[in-house]
Amino acid sequence: MATVAATLPFRAPTYLGPATFLTPSAAGARFPDRPQQRRLVAGGRHRELARIQAEAISGGGGVARRDPMVPPYNVLITGSTKAERVESATNDLKKEFGEQHVWGTVCDVREGKDVKALVDYARGKLQYIDIWINNAGSNAYSYKPLVETSDEALMEVITTNTLGLMICCREAINMMWNQPRGGHIFNIDGAGSDGRPTPRFAAYGATKRSVVHLTKSLQAELQMNEVNNVVVHNLSPGMVTTDLLMSGATTKQAKFFINILAEPPDVVADYLVPNVRAIPTNQSMKPTYIRFLTGLKAYSRIFSRLAFGARRNKYVVED
């Protein structure tokens, strides 16, 4: 299990899959007016994801007990991937943003010692992290009823999505709490976060439901302990056309909703990136839940499809 930490922005299939923070390849909302920022790539799976995230975020946060955040801003993003892709993604980012602005390393988020080592790595390269995005996640590329799911697949999903997220949050909070600049942590949600059923990937949905609860609990703990320089947020990319999402397009219902609701990474990034950046830019220290695919947007698209046949066969041929 690898991880890419960089200035990437958002994980993959938030509706059907694990994490690659805004997912694969190289698509990328461009913000040429943004000051160059340093990025750390610590593990992620897709190039697209890496590129988008690398261009995506530039903002700090304002809080007591810390120095003002001024450019360049440092962003760390974790992502589920194969180790060999870390080097590939990092090299692509370095070519575009320069050797001195991008770093990558492998980290198993399920292992506390690995995440502690990631923090040390980040400090060694960047000194501090302004924004930490927890994008690592997995559904073990398994789309089948729970009764047919193997022990190995269940362990991968649960340890990555739940245990891994808890460990990363713990280490991110400890790091940011003790750094003069403070920081913002974003936890990526996914299918099941809203409590709706997720047939064929029930375990994944259950772990993503827990993401929302964990974020709320951490927000309460920080307030209880009067920590005013660290904030934990939720981030929802919606359905993103990643390899993982598309691998689940094997049923009539899945194809229907992917065509109607899914969007490519660059489209999602165009919306999410400015909203994420606005939080530190506005010196806001209030917890937020940033959503790309809102209920209103989803229902309007479904209506357009039923009434006018909109987006039929947009990404996959329907039966």
- Known catalytic residues are 204
End-to-end Cα spacing for the chain: 36
Q: What is the DSSP letter of 229?
A: S
Q: With the C-alpha atoms ordered 215, 131, 56, 282, is the resulting torsion angle positive or negative?
A: positive
48 CB neighbour count, 10 Å cutoff: 28
* Residues in Cβ contact with 213 at an 8 Å cutoff, skipping those fewer than 6 apart: none
* Residues in Cβ contact with 241 at an 8 Å cutoff, skipping those fewer than 6 apart: 23, 258, 262, 263, 264, 265, 315
Q: What CA–CA distance (Å, rounded) separates 274 from 8?
A: 13
Spell out the alpha helix ranges (H) of 43-163: 47-56, 83-97, 112-126, 151-158
CA dihedral 110, 207, 190, 308 (to 10 degrees): 150
Residues paired with 134 in a beta bridge: 78, 187
Q: Measured between alpha carbons, how far is residue 75 from residues 34, 85, 126, 216, 302 in Å?
A: 14, 19, 9, 22, 36
86 CB neighbour count, 10 Å cutoff: 26
Q: Are 189 and 236 in contact (CB under 8 A)?
A: yes
Q: Are 255 and 312 in contact (CB under 8 A)?
A: no
Residue 99: helix, strand or coil by DSSP? helix
* Residues in Cβ contact with 263 at an 8 Å cutoff, skipping those fewer than 6 apart: 238, 239, 240, 241, 292
